[in-house]
């Protein structure tokens, strides 16, 4: 786990199907026992460097196999799983998709995903507040996503530490619901600076809550001028065409990149 937020306490990370409890990032466990600040800084740098090396290995695997990996991040309860369930339900006949679910405990979200017919692996982080590259590597080894498919990575609900850990994804999607505060981008700037897309969810509730959607988008763009903003409702379907269009655009980019590296056109993509 990380030395930034204080979750480096002894615990376990469980990835479904690995046959029992796994040691949780052993190198991290002693982090908060350090008393000298310079040692803490050196340890954190080493841990992030190790994670980055593993993330690059994941990125290379995704490129070699033509898999589009998307890292979905948000506060707890933003509606990430509901958005994924609706997306899988609508697009599964036309697009191969799989999901890695990150939560501290339970397999509830993975169960919801599997109910759509899509493959999912649950990663339980124990005391950890985010997914790391090695956890994703182990989950992908079980899922074996098909060439030309989309791998959705639903990170642990947290707007702080997931922003620090590259998983090897192609793009980061930050999800913000109208039941939160429209000032979230300003309060958690690192998350929004590093995302390529912000999706505002639960738009069906917008008339009933005090949430200024344009203000939230202005705040996000003040931190990250290149971020794209979408507004959706998984319940009513509002804005989902734009979300699916963004997925298609990302698939096209991935397909071109894969073709350039392999000399072949990989299967996959939405059928129009």
Q: What is the pLDDT of residues 118-157, one digit of tens each?
A: 999 999 999 899 999 999 999 999 999 999 999 999 999 9
pLDDT digit string (tens) for 74-91? 999 999 999 999 999 999
In the structure, what pLDDT confidence band is assigned to residue 258 with cuts at 50, 70 and 90?
low
The domain in which residue 81 lies consists of 13-25+36-258
10, 30 Cβ separation under 8 angstroms: no
Higher-confidence position of 116 and 271: 116
> In Å, what is the CA distance from 170 to each residue of 58, 68, 204?
10, 7, 29
Q: What integer is the mean pLDDT of 225-241?
A: 98
- Check residue 14 and give its pLDDT: 79
Residue 222 CA to its chain's centroid (Å): 23
According to DSSP, residue 18 is labeled S
Structural domain includes residue 149: yes
- The pTM (predicted TM-score) of the whole model is 0.84
- List Cα–Cα distances, 142 to 17, 112, 118, 193, in angstroms: 8, 19, 14, 32
**Chain Cα centroid distance, residue 117:** 20
Note the residue count of the chain: 272
Element at 70 (helix H, strand E)? strand 68-74
Range scoring the smallest mean pLDDT among 8-22, 28-42, 112-126: 28-42
- Greatest Cα pair distance, the chain, in angstroms, is 59
Residue 211 per-residue DSSP state? -
Q: Which of 242, 197, 204, 240 is nearest to 220 (CA)?
A: 197
Is residue 145 a part of any domain in this protein? yes
In a domain, 41, yes or no: yes
Cα dihedral 87→91→92→93 (10° resolution): 160
Residue 240: inside a domain, yes or no? yes
Confidence of residue 48 (pLDDT cuts 50, 70, 90): confident
pLDDT tens for each residue of 159-201: 999 999 999 999 999 999 999 999 999 999 999 999 999 999 9
> For residue 269, is it within any domain?
no
Q: Give the pLDDT of residue 3.
A: 57
What is the pLDDT, as a whole number, of residue 13?
Answer: 72
What is the total count of domains within the chain?
Answer: 1
Q: Is residue 210 part of a domain?
A: yes
100 within 8 A of 133, measured Cβ to Cβ: no
The encoded tokens of residue 240 equal 């989902």
CATH for 231? 3.40.50.300
Residue 231 lies in a domain: yes
Q: Which has more confidence, 263 or 189?
A: 189
What secondary structure does DSSP assign to 138-162, as a single string? HHHHHH-PPTT-EEEEE--S-SSGG
Q: In angstroms, rounded to a whole number, what is the distance separating the alpha carbons of residues 166 and 141?
A: 18
Dist. CA 148–CA 256, nearest whole Å: 11
Neighbours of 104 (CB within 10 A): 17
């Amino acid at each position: 786990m990380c030395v930034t937020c204080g979750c480096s306490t002894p615990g376990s990370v469980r990835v479904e199907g690995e046959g029992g409890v796994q040691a949780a990032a052993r190198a991290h466990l002693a982090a908060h026992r350090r008393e000298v600040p310079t040692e803490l800084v050196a340890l954190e740098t080493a841990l992030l460097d190790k994670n980055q090396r593993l993330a690059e290995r994941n990125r290379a695997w995704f490129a070699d196999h033509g898999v589009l990996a998307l890292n979905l991040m948000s506060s707890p309860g933003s509606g990430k799983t509901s958005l994924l369930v609706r997306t899988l339900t609508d697009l599964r006949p036309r697009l191969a998709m799989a999901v890695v679910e990150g939560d501290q405990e339970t397999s509830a979200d993975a169960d919801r995903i599997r109910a759509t017919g899509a493959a999912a692996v649950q990663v339980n982080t124990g005391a950890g507040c985010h997914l790391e590259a090695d956890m994703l590597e182990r989950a992908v080894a079980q899922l074996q996503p098909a060439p030309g498919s989309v791998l959705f990575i639903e990170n642990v609900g947290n707007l702080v530490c997931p922003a620090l850990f590259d998983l090897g994804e192609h793009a980061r999607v930050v999800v913000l619901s109208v039941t939160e505060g429209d000032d979230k981008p300003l309060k958690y700037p690192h998350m929004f600076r590093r995302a390529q897309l912000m999706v505002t969810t639960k738009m069906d509730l917008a008339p009933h809550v005090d949430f200024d959607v344009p203000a939230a988008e202005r705040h996000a763009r003040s931190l990250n001028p290149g971020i794209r903003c979408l507004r959706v409702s998984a319940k009513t379907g509002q804005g989902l065409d734009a979300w699916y269009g963004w997925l298609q655009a990302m698939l096209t980019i991935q397909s071109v990149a894969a073709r350039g590296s392999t000399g072949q056109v990989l299967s996959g993509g939405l059928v129009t």
